[in-house]
Amino acid sequence: MTLKDLKVGESGLVLAVGGENTLRRRLLEMGITPRTTITVKKTAPMGDPIELFLRGYVLSLRLAEAEKITIEKGR
Domain segments of the chain as ranges: 3-73
Task: Spell 41-53 as b/e; 16+ CB within 10 A means b.
Answer: eeeeeeeebbebe
pTM: 0.88
What is the CATH code for 3-73? Answer: 2.30.30.90
**Residue 61, Cβ neighbours under 10 Å: how many?**
22
Q: Are 10 and 73 contacting, i.e. CB atoms less than 8 angstroms apart? A: yes
pLDDT tens for 21-34 read 999 999 999 999 99
pLDDT tens for 3-49 read 999 999 999 999 999 989 999 999 999 999 999 999 999 999 988 89
